Amino acid sequence: MSPFMKVSKNILAILLGVLISFILLEGLLRIFQPIEYRVKGNKLKLPRDKKYQFTNDKTDKLDRVIATSRNHLGLRGEMPPKNFADYVTIVAVGGSTTACEVISDGKTWCDILAGKLTAEFGQVWLGNAGLDGTSTYGHLVMMEDYLIKMKPKVVLFLVGANDIGLGNYTTCDHEFIKKPKTDFLATLMEKLINKSEVLGYAINFYRYAKARRLGLPHQIFDFAYLQPTNLSQEEVDALLHSDRERYLEPFKQRLTKLIEISRENSMEPVFITQPSAFGDVIDPVTGVDLGQAGSYGMNGKTLWRRLELYNGMTRETAAQQGIELIDLAAEMPKSSEYYYDTYHFSNAGCTRVAEILDKTLAPFLEKRYPRLKAHQAIRSGG
């Protein structure tokens, strides 16, 4: 046998082995999924009728035993009322800072805000459609695949953190932004990703690794022991310049699309800016300099400046489009009391977030739906 034939035979054997392994792994993952993921290709997989419970032994900022659940629609919180049209219905859309996956049922900012609004107005329902890791790309899918069918009256969008470093629309975004597909191979890959469990896991592991580099996954910080991280001015300038030149305009396009979809389907969008524990301040709890303290290779001052570029675009888009904005990033105190890591809220943080949101959202709802106050007056005997 010639050397060429031997090499060809070996290559064929390797390819056949890879194919058989892929098929076996695909079959195994269709039967048993060791890790639950909620984004597959350009589709969302909402976990329905799920209950979770785990023990926290790392921080007293969260419950010792954390119990969470997803209802029959795949949302956190109560199921929608049967007389849906008679209520002011609200859905919160966002990533992990909306989902609050390590906050027990009843203690998320959505739960607390729902309680406040119900006490103030009566017929209000608020569902939590937050999903870990989703950016405005995922929010567009959530709108197209779920919320335009549900048609809540108000949609709250807490945006910013998961959009850092995300550029133009990819092929996987074409379906839900309704742009024509021209790349055959990319379209074929999209279909394979949507069908294959193996590729679904691979893509999600890649997304997790990328998010980890940005400091987005959940991680319990001991703020008192965070070490300073030094960045040169040249490094900071290059990072911020890249965001301005490459990522802010695509982010604005996605925000605008969210507004368009909302308005086309008689839903009122409300934007919420993303806060962070970090910034050019001293932590009032630990005395740590939150501007110099490091997180994933970036100091707090730079992290905050970068996030504020995206918050600034959220503010600008809301003003241009004439929609309600709640500037949570500006109003949320920078204190380790309210966070257990860079972005994620503690129990106390969720309470504080709900108080800030209620301060703006309650007057907005009263003005937008004046019958609410009249109904509440009747309920209270006023």
Q: Mean pLDDT for the chain?
A: 84
pLDDT in tens, 65-108: 999 999 999 999 999 999 999 999 999 999 999 999 999 999 99
Query: Residue 20's pLDDT is what?
Result: 73
Share of the chain above pLDDT 70, in %: 73
**CB 155 within 8 Å of CB 268:** yes
pLDDT at 329 over 60: yes
pLDDT tens digits, one per residue of 227-271 = 898 889 999 999 999 999 999 999 999 999 999 999 999 999 999
- Domains, the chain, ranges and CATH? 33-380 (3.40.50.1110)
The per-residue pLDDT for 27 is: 61
Region class of 240: left (phi > 0), else alpha (psi between -120 and 50), else beta: alpha
Structure pTM? 0.80
- 104: Cβ contacts below 8 Å, ≥ 6 apart: 63, 65, 66, 67, 68
Residues in Cβ contact with 208 at an 8 Å cutoff, skipping those fewer than 6 apart: 133, 217
More confidently predicted of 329 and 175: 329
Q: Which helix (H) or strand (E) holds 368?
A: helix 347-368
Model confidence band, residue 12 (pLDDT cutoffs 50, 70, 90) = confident
Per-residue pLDDT for 180 more than 90?
no
Alpha-carbon distance values, 340 to 102, 129, 279, 281, 357 (Å): 10, 22, 15, 17, 20
159: helix, strand or coil: strand
SS percent in the chain: helix, strand, coil, step 5: 50, 15, 35
Closest CA to 111 of 155, 160, 75: 75
Residues whose CB is less than 8 angstroms from the CB of residue 313 and which lie 6 or more positions away in sequence, other chains included: 248, 251, 252, 255
- Report the range of poorest mean pLDDT among 160-174, 336-350, 355-369: 160-174
pLDDT computed for residue 179 by the predictor: 44
Q: What is the pLDDT of residues 18-46, one digit of tens each?
A: 667 656 655 654 555 555 545 555 567 78
Confidence of residue 369 (pLDDT cuts 50, 70, 90): confident
212-239 tens-digit pLDDT: 544 445 688 899 999 898 889 999 999 9
Percent of the chain whose predicted confidence (pLDDT) is above 90:
64
